[in-house]
Amino acid sequence: MDIKQTEVVLAHIDDSYKIATMSREIIEQGLQWSWTPERVGRCILSPEINVITAKIDSDLIGFGIMFYGNTKAHLNLLAVDANWRSHGIGHRMLDWLEMCAKTAGLESCQLELRESNQKARKFYTDHGYSETERVHGYYQQQENAIRMARNLREGHFES
């Protein structure tokens, strides 16, 4: 399949199960499943949250979930199928979500990721995020998280 055919769009409620399953397999490995189809569905229907998908034809190859607050955005989840990584899909989805936050006038975006996930840390660092703190036991008391943030107005995080 041609990567140029990848479509990044808002998720439809019918995508809930596929997104939740992808989260369980990629993000929530070794943890109790918390991003269930019901939870993802509530996010899709929420006016404060964008859930996007990256698809080639009808095949889901990535997704992102971002909450938009009064001054800050929070990236809840971002995942790309292992077969499609290193093709720029994660960058496209993150850019899409951040553009919505910038358009809404939000100042910054933050996220958490597993402390052990070095590839994700590099991805977000390359995208202008800085580590702000380590959160002990964040992932169901099984693993620490690294909190990262980015100033959306300047492209850099300011503490």
Q: Mention the CATH class of domain 3-109.
A: alpha beta
Q: Tell me the per-residue pLDDT of 12-35, one tens digit each, with 9 for 90 and over.
A: 999 999 999 999 999 998 888 999
CA dist., res. 74 & res. 101, Å (int): 10
Instruction: Give me the pLDDT at residue 2, please.
Output: 55
pLDDT tens for 115-150 read 999 999 999 999 999 999 998 988 888 889 999 999
Question: Residue 158's pLDDT band (boundaries 50, 70, 90)?
Answer: very low
Token duo for residue 93: 């989805």
Q: What pTM was computed for the model?
A: 0.91
Q: What is the per-residue pLDDT for 3?
A: 60
Taking the domains of the chain in order of start, what are their residue ranges? Answer: 3-109
* Strand-pair partners of 6: none
Distance CA 105, CA 14 (A): 30
Owner of token pair 């989840």: 77
Sequence letter at residue 28: E
Mean pLDDT of 68-92: 95
Given a cut of 90, whether residue 5 has pLDDT beyond it is no
